[in-house]
């Protein structure tokens, strides 16, 4: 199973988020989950990747060429796919993955998460989407999604696109136990 993980590249974050990223990396390595990630070497991305490498797990980085030129790529990832731009990076990551997981992160992580939610809403990514709400990090986003539903910008059924977990140990079981979302998402894509 290949699972993409979206995560912060910031290294100036709370230790609880770093611990969750490390724990997730260890779990992936122990359970033989092949990770696909943004290819970065710092922040939660770097911590997650380091733990997978330490556990002799499988990991593929996908990074745009300009980021590699800046030296932002993880220097110990052997399987690194270099794309022409950010859009190709996401398409490549989504195509390679059997599920998507969002650790805490900034606008890049938010963009990846909301794009995969949109793709699932439109029937283009019919796979698990897991939001790791560590220490309530995503509480405001989840409330905003609820606000969208109350305002009829999304259907109530769309809230079932994603699953929310509060720890790394819940991620793999959430993926393994996923039973699907909607038989034909396009039927309810229009509001």
**Per-residue confidence (pLDDT) for residue 189, from 0 to 100:** 85
Q: What is the pLDDT of residue 95?
A: 97
Domain of residue 47, residue span: 2-188
Number of Cβ within a 10 Å radius of residue 32: 11
Structure letter (DSSP) for residue 33 = P
What is the domain-level CATH number for residue 60? Answer: 3.40.50.450
88 Cβ contact list (under 8 Å, min separation 6): 64
Q: Which helix (H) or strand (E) holds 113?
A: helix 107-121
Note the pLDDT of residue 190. 82
End-to-end Cα distance, the chain: 34
The answer to whether 96 touches 60, Cβ cutoff 8 Å, is: yes
Residue 191: per-residue pLDDT: 78
The model's pTM: 0.96
pLDDT by residue, tens only, the chain of 191 residues: 999 999 999 989 999 999 999 999 999 999 999 999 999 999 999 999 999 999 999 999 999 999 999 999 999 999 999 999 999 999 999 999 999 999 999 999 999 999 999 999 999 999 999 999 999 999 999 999 999 999 999 999 999 999 999 999 999 999 999 999 988 998 888 87
Tally the domains of the chain.
1
């Amino acid at each position: 199973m290949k699972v993409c993980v979206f995560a912060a590249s910031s290294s100036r974050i709370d230790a609880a988020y770093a611990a969750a990223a490390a724990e997730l990396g260890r779990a992936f390595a122990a359970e033989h989950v092949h990770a696909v990630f943004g290819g970065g070497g710092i922040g939660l991305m770097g911590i997650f990747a380091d733990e997978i490498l330490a556990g002799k797990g499988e990991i593929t980085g996908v990074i745009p060429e300009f980021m590699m030129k800046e030296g932002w790529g993880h220097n110990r990832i052997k399987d690194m796919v270099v794309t022409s731009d950010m859009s190709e990076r996401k398409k490549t990551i989504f195509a390679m993955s059997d599920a998507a997981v969002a650790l805490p992160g900034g606008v890049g992580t938010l963009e990846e998460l909301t794009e995969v939610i949109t793709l699932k809403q439109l029937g283009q990514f019919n796979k698990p989407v897991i939001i790791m709400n560590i220490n309530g990090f995503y509480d405001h986003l989840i409330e905003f999604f609820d606000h969208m539903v109350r305002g009829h910008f999304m259907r109530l059924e769309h809230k079932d696109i994603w699953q929310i977990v509060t720890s790394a140990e819940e991620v793999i079981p959430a993926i393994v136990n996923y039973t699907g979302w909607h038989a034909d998402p396009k039927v309810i894509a229009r509001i």
